[in-house]
Structure 1
Amino acid sequence: MSSSHPVPECRRSLPRLSRLERQDGRIGRVVFYLPEVDSTNRLLANLAGRRAEAGTVVVADHQTAGRGKEERVWYSAPGTGLSLSVLLRPRVSIECMSQATLMISVAVADAIEAASGVAAEIKWPNDIMAGGRKLCGILCELVTTPDGDVDHIIAGIGINVSQTPDQFPDGLRSIATSIEAEAKRAVDRQTVLSLLLDRLEHRLAQWERDGFQPIRRDWIRRSCTLGRPIIVTTPQERRSGTAIALGDDGSLSIRTEEGSIHNYIFGETCSSSVAAEKTRN
C-alpha cells in the first residue's frame, strides 16, 4: 500500500481478518487487517473517537510511522513482525490505570511462550525480553472523559516474530531479537496473534474480577528487572539502585547504595551494565 492509496478511516471500508475474530468475550470480536499503515495506534484512536466497540483490534503487516515510548521509532521489516493495537475499556477505576501496561505485558509473555516455548521475561515497565534482548514493546495511551473518568485505552503492541539478526538495523542488532531467533524454528504470526487475543481476554477479565494481585504475582515470576542493579530515568531524575519490589499499584521500588528507597510509577529502566556499555561506546 502506498501513499497514493490512503488507508480508509471508515469502519465499513476497512478489511477484516474474520477468521481470527471471536464470537465470545470482548477482545477480538472485530479485527481489522491492513498490509501497511502509518500507525495502528493512530488509526484505532480515530475509530475509538467514533465509538468503536471495546476489544476492537487493528493489525498491520507493517507500520511506516510506528512509535514507542518517548516518540521513539519502532522498527519492523515488512512481514516479519506483529504490529497491532487493541481498544480497551477496562472496568476498573482510574487509580488502577498504571497497572494496565503490566497486565498486558503478562498476557503478551504468556502468548509468546504458548506459541513458541520461548521463556519470555518482562522488563519494567513495558518491554518483553528474551536472552537479554527485546522481543516486544508496548505503548498504552489513556483517554479520559471531560469529567476525568476513563474513556478508553489504546494498547499498541509490537512483537518481533521472524526477524533474523541481519534484518535489524546496526544499532539494534545487539539489543533486539525475535521469537524465531530464540525458538530456533518457524513460528506462525497468526498463531501468535490468536494466542495473544486469548491471553488478553483472560488477563483483562482476571484484572477486573480479582484485582491486580494475580497479575502482580505472575509479573514477578517473569520479571528480569527485580533483584538486579538498574538505572531508572524519569523526566525529573536519573537514579541508580537495585530493583527490590513491584508495588500493589504497579510501581517499581529501588534501593540505592546509600540504602534509601525510591518508588516509581512511571519511567524507563535499563540495567547498570547496559548503561555502562553505552557510555563506553
Structure 2
Amino acid sequence: MRTFFNTRTSVRKLLISTTRPKNPSLLNVQDHFWRVEEFDEIDSTNTWLAEQARRGAREGLVARADYQSAGRGRLERTWESAAGSALLCSLLLRPGLASEDLAYAVAAVALSARGALATLSGLVPSLKWPNDLVVHDQKLGGLLAEVVAVGDELAVVVGLGINLTDHASANPHATNLWRESAQSFGARAVLDAVLIELDTRRDLLASSEGRTAVLAEWRAALSTLGRRVRVIQHDAELEGVALDLDLHGGLVVDVAGERRVFTVGDVVHLRVAEGS
C-alpha cells in the first residue's frame, strides 16, 4: 500500500470536524460539507489529499498541518516554514468543470482567502497571477493546484499557504499577516474563515453566470493587470504588459505588439526602469 506519511507524521485529530459560521444567517453553509483533518506534521498536505482523491474521497475534505517536511510550491519550488507560523492546508474540490475551466476553482479559493483575511483583519491583499496573495508586491501567501483524474471526473486539490507570523518565511520578498495587520490569528481560525467564504464561491462554479461573476472578481483583485511583467516559463522568458484575463483565466499579455495568452508560468512584476 502506498502511503505519503513519513515516520515523523502524527495526527492530532482523528475525528473529522465541520466548519460553520458563527452566525448561520450570513451564509447558507451545508452541514458537514467541509471536513478538516489536522496533522502536527506531514510531508505534504497536497500529496496526502491527492491520494485521498484517488481513493474516492468526496468533495469538501480538507487537510491542515502545523508543519510540512516536504511542502511544495509552483515550478517545483519548496515551501518551508516554522511549525505553527503559517496556514498550511489543501482542499479537495470536484467542481464538474472542463479541464480548460479548472482555473476558476483555484481562483475561487484565492478570492476566498482574500475575503477571509479582509473579514478577520481588515487587510485586503491583492492577487498576483497566477496564484499569489501579495501586499505591496510582497508575498503573503500562495496556492498550488493539482488535477486528479478519477474515472471521467477531474478533481482539483488546491494547496493554500498563508504566512501568519515573522517565522513563516525567510524569503526577503515575503511578508506575513502579523507584520501587515499587527494582529495575531491562529491557522485554524483563518482556515475556518476561508471555508465560509468558499462556500458561496463554490456554488458559483456550477453555472456560466456564476463563473462570469468569479472572473469579474478575479480581474478586480489582480494587481498584475496593467503592469509590465516578465513571464517565466520552463523554456523561455518574455516581457510585456499584462492586459486582461481571457475566459479561461489565461493571462493576456502584449508582447512587442502581439497579444499572447499564457496559461502556465510564473510572473514577475517589473518596475518601469526594469522593463524599459
TM-score by length of 1: 0.85
Aligned residues: 264
Partner of 2:230: 231
- Supply the distance in 1 between the matched residues of 2:220 and 2:246 (Cα, whole angstroms): 14
| RMSD between superposed Cα atoms in Å | 2.7
Moved more, 200-209 or 222-231: 200-209
1:89 paired with 2:91, answer no
Letter of the 1:255 partner, please give it.
D
Instruction: Give the unaligned 5+ runs of structure 2.
Output: 22-27
Identity %: 30
| Aligned pair partner of 1:50 in 34, 38, 55 | 55
Partner of 1:128: 133
What secondary structure is seen at the aligned counterpart in 1 of 2:63? Answer: strand
User: Is the contact made by 2:228 and 2:242 (CA closer than 8 Å) also made in structure 1?
Assistant: yes
Partner of 2:213: 214
1:157 paired with 2:122, answer no
What secondary structure is seen at the aligned counterpart in 2 of 1:105? Answer: helix
What secondary structure is seen at the aligned counterpart in 1 of 2:271? Answer: helix
What secondary structure is seen at the aligned counterpart in 2 of 1:158? Answer: strand
- Supply the distance in 2 between the matched residues of 1:240 and 1:249 (Cα, whole angstroms): 21
TM-score by length of 2: 0.86
Query: How far is the alpha carbon of 1:45 from its aligned partner?
Result: 1.6
The structure with the greater share of residues assigned to helix is: 1
User: Is the contact made by 1:27 and 1:56 (CA closer than 8 Å) also made in structure 2?
Assistant: no
- Supply the distance in 2 between the matched residues of 1:275 and 1:139 (Cα, whole angstroms): 31
Query: How far is the alpha carbon of 1:109 from its aligned partner?
Result: 1.0
The structure with the greater share of residues assigned to strand is: 2
- Supply the distance in 2 between the matched residues of 1:273 and 1:185 (Cα, whole angstroms): 31
Map Cα deviations across residues 171-230 of structure 1 (whole Å, 9 max, x no partner). x12x10111111122233322111101112211111213342111111121111000100
Instruction: Give the unaligned 5+ runs of structure 1.
Output: none
Letter of the 1:92 partner, please give it.
L
| Aligned pair partner of 2:266 in 254, 264, 268 | 268
Query: How far is the alpha carbon of 1:101 from its aligned partner?
Result: 2.0
User: Is the contact made by 2:114 and 2:126 (CA closer than 8 Å) also made in structure 1?
Assistant: yes
Query: How far is the alpha carbon of 1:113 from its aligned partner?
Result: 1.2
- Supply the distance in 2 between the matched residues of 1:275 and 1:65 (Cα, whole angstroms): 37
Partner of 2:191: 193
